[in-house]
Structure 1
Amino acid sequence: MYDFIFKPFHEMTEADYAAVGFKSGLEIHQQLFTQKKLFCRCPAGKYSTQYDAQILRHMRPTLSELGEYDGTALMEFKTKKEIIYQINRETVCTYEMDDTPPFELNDEALDIALGISLLYGCAMVDEIHIARKQYLDGSIPTGFQRTTIVGVDGKVPYHGREIHIVQVGLEEDSCREVSDIGHRRTYVTDRLGMPLIETVTGPDMKTPQQVAEVGELLRRMARSTGRVRTGIGAARQDVNVSVTGGTRIEIKGVPRLPRIPLLTYNEAMRQWNLLRLREELHKRGVTAESFKSTTEDVTKLLRRTRYQPVSSTIASGGVVNCVVLRGFKGLLRWQTQTDTYFSREISDRVRVISCLTTLPNIVHSDSTSETLATSEWQTVKKTTGATDNDTVVIVWGDKQDAESGAREIAIRAKEATVGIPSETRQALRDGTNGFERILPGPDRMYPDTD
């Protein structure tokens, strides 16, 4: 079923994308040009690298109205991050820090949002209801974003047809990330709470080029009002992509429209190749039910290794774990994106969830580059009982992170037997993308009681 082989980006045709069932939609976040923030009266659009105080917080998931936890919230909780907020007294108040209830909704922002919704041909909602959307990555100190829908079911003309506008929402912006190293993530709060609109299109774009063109069309329409902000960071696009047999994957926060075609091409290729990988695993008899992996501590076996990342970890008192993936011989070299292989799917999970952010964070027996010595690989394989049909993956770090990393390796490998996990992906500069978090579901939304 998945016989099609992706061509290089510039050789792909519209017929090729149709063959794989390419579909894409946009979620465009556009800051509004207001004097004040959305739910308080702090100035909007005032940026600063100076800060007067820092606040430390830990995020924890909460139950939705249905008594369920959102998968993204649980994943973020597993990372055990310390969140640091750098605060400037001229740009934030006690509302942003969740010490004061929200003020009334900014009327200026609402007027702009309604005007743009009408421009997109949307029907106005009868009542505006503020909801909370969980954000446990720390980008909002409260752990949730206040958001509301102002318009639905719009349409804009595009090359003789119409692009469906599912909804236009009005919501508050998040913090700007300063750094994310190990178990500590740092944000600056000047952007926090600024009003923006989120425009959601249907999955109506059938090629990567169309996605960028529709994004440009909506950008120009919003800018034609003269009431939106421009410049770096004022508009950001989340791009949803799927192929036949795949699932909706969200590429988060694409800062520039010209980057969209290559990003969506690579995501379509990634999904298609992961489906081909699933077929290969099933041919080998490796399914979700039959999947097997084993994990062992091989720190003592590698105490004399000359491979620097491992030797330095052992010297500092860290742990080296080995995960044997039964029946995976050669598959960590399976291509997913341009010059990218399945091993990065695993490495990304280890980097994000286990907080092993120094790369490389894994090595594997399928690798063609120099890592462990041949004799060391043989010793590890013999000790762990790995056969010629298996792949061995090594992960290292402090005891807790190395154990977490080993679990994530097995989890991601097992997911390959099922297909494509629902994820939010990070846009990378080379046009590929990397794992960011599990794709949020409806369980992250609940009414705002404030």
Structure 2
Amino acid sequence: MTIKPFSEMTASDYDALGFKSGLEIHQQLFTAKKLFCRCPAGRYSEEFNAEILRHMRPTLSELGEYDGTALMEFKTRKEIIYQIHRDTICTYEMDDTPPFELNGDALDIALSIGLLYGCSMVDEIHIARKQYLDGSIPTGFQRTTIVGVNGSIPYKGRRISIIQLGLEEDACREVSDVGHRRIYLTDRLGMPLIETVTAPDMRTPQEVAEVADILRRLVRSTGRVRTGGGAARQDVNVSVTGGTRIEIKGVPRIPNIPLLTYNEAMRQHNLLLLRDELHKRGITPDSFSSRTEDVTKILRRTRFQPVRDAIAMGLEARGVLLRGFQGLLRWRTQTDTYFSREISDRVRVVACLTTLPNIIFSDSPS
């Protein structure tokens, strides 16, 4: 199946792809204080009084194992810088004080919204920990709780299931992420927000945007949620037949959702076709092989400026031979995007090579 341009796709085309999508919508609540301390909520400022440097380190789980994602983040050797303002941060946010009692106003708002969704409200609130491994929460985890489950909203003659409604604390605002240093502003940290999790009931990108807008209007009808830039952020889950669920994090505007979800569906479909092509060439996870060589000396006099600059900074240039991959790095995955971008994105994250291009390749579609 060939993916049509976005403007030409129909509901039957998405049905043939096996397109499914669900939402996780994070909405800040309008409270005077934060969720687990008594610092003021909603005071944003680019100014800060101090900086704190921390490194994220993995710890053994109860099963005596390390989390794979935590290990990967640790291996990046990131320096996490927190820029703090004394008027909006206390020792709780910096993980030096136990949490205070849960903000009662925030809980009341969350319960009200849960009733709007028709959720079954839980009998007891239990605070749990959700891992945050990018450094955006100094503790390394987010305190969160489930307020209601099994709700739904009407949509075009059917119901969209609300799996659960959660109440949780917000993370820091990212300032920059360059090389081995990531900087956060902490004024948003700890603000109360709700997380609305839907089932993957949407079958086209336009449906995803429409359901997100219905949920936005519904929670705003309470008059007790924050509005404006960054007050609501959508995580959009997308999958197609044969693919896996991919989460598009932090979509700030609902009108962006249709094109983003279309592109992700196209990406998954084209990667599945690429997998089939690799299998035809006899390349599987078990048979895959590569060779890596240091080519720094060979490239010292190259005219390609990004490589010259990298070598001048004392970095190494590595050549990687991918056996059997001729023509495949130019395999189209999205509009104007190729398989080489998949590799580049992983190099950027794992090796912290954030200056692009971080890879160059010799390839031919023939």
Asked if these proteins are the same fold (TM beyond 0.5), I'd say: yes
Structure 1: which 5+ runs fail to align? Answer: 369-388, 390-450
Q: Give CA-to-partner distance per residue, 1:130-161, whole Å, 9 cap, x none.
A: 01111120100111110000000101100000
What's 1:95 paired with?
A: 92
Q: How does 1:308-347 map to 2 (within 5 A)?
A: 308-347=305-344
Q: Give CA-to-partner distance per residue, 1:291-343, whole Å, 9 cap, x none.
A: 01000011122222111111222233321110000000010000111110000
1:135 paired residue among 132, 149, 152: 132
Aligned residue pairs, count: 366
What's 1:226 paired with?
A: 223
**Is residue 173 from structure 1 mapped to residue 184 from structure 2 by the alignment?**
no
Q: 1:319 to 1:122 in 2, by over 3 A?
A: same
In structure 2, what residue type is equivalent to 1:300? K
* Farther off after superposition, 207-216 or 123-132: 123-132
Determine helix, strand or coil for the equivalent of 2:360. strand
What's 1:267 paired with?
A: 264
Determine helix, strand or coil for the equivalent of 1:363. coil
Q: How does 1:277-426 map to 2 (within 5 A)?
A: 277-366=274-363
Q: 1:178 to 1:367 in 2, by over 3 A?
A: farther
TM-score of the aligned structures, taking structure 2 as reference length: 0.98
Contact 1:61-1:136 at 8 Å conserved across structures? no
What's 1:376 paired with?
A: none
1:31 paired residue among 19, 28, 37: 28
1:73 paired residue among 62, 70, 73: 70
What's 1:416 paired with?
A: none
Contact 1:73-1:135 at 8 Å conserved across structures? no
Cα distance in 2 for residues equivalent to 1:67 and 1:228: 41
What's 2:158 paired with?
A: 161
Determine helix, strand or coil for the equivalent of 2:82. strand
Q: Displacement of 1:286 after TM fit? A: 0.6
Determine helix, strand or coil for the equivalent of 2:317. strand
Q: Give CA-to-partner distance per residue, 1:76-129, whole Å, 9 cap, x none.
A: 222110000000000010000011000000000000001101100100111111
In structure 2, what residue type is equivalent to 1:56? L
Q: Give CA-to-partner distance per residue, 1:259-299, whole Å, 9 cap, x none.
A: 00000000000000000000000001111111010000111
Q: Displacement of 1:367 after TM fit? A: 6.7
**Is residue 20 from structure 1 mapped to residue 21 from structure 2 by the alignment?**
no
Cα distance in 2 for residues equivalent to 1:317 and 1:264: 40
Cα distance in 1 for residues equivalent to 2:116 and 2:94: 35
Q: Displacement of 1:19 after TM fit? A: 0.4
1:108 paired residue among 105, 109, 116: 105
What's 2:243 paired with?
A: 246
Determine helix, strand or coil for the equivalent of 1:362. coil
In structure 1, what residue type is equivalent to 2:135? G
Contact 1:77-1:136 at 8 Å conserved across structures? no
Contact 2:82-2:185 at 8 Å conserved across structures? yes
In structure 1, what residue type is equivalent to 2:17? V
Contact 2:129-2:141 at 8 Å conserved across structures? yes
Determine helix, strand or coil for the equivalent of 1:364. coil
Contact 2:326-2:364 at 8 Å conserved across structures? no
Cα distance in 2 for residues equivalent to 1:76 and 1:69: 12
Cα distance in 2 for residues equivalent to 1:199 and 1:242: 19
Q: Displacement of 1:74 after TM fit? A: 2.2
Determine helix, strand or coil for the equivalent of 2:175. strand
Q: 1:192 to 1:342 in 2, by over 3 A?
A: same
Determine helix, strand or coil for the equivalent of 2:149. strand
RMSD of equivalent CA atoms? 1.2
Cα distance in 1 for residues equivalent to 2:37 and 2:364: 54
Query: How much identity, in percent, do the aligned residues show?
Result: 80
Cα distance in 2 for residues equivalent to 1:79 and 1:237: 27
Moved over 6 A (4+): none
Q: Displacement of 1:72 after TM fit? A: 2.4
Structure 2: which 5+ runs fail to align? Answer: none
Q: Displacement of 1:67 after TM fit? A: 3.4
Cα distance in 2 for residues equivalent to 1:116 and 1:367: 55
In structure 2, what residue type is equivalent to 1:40? C
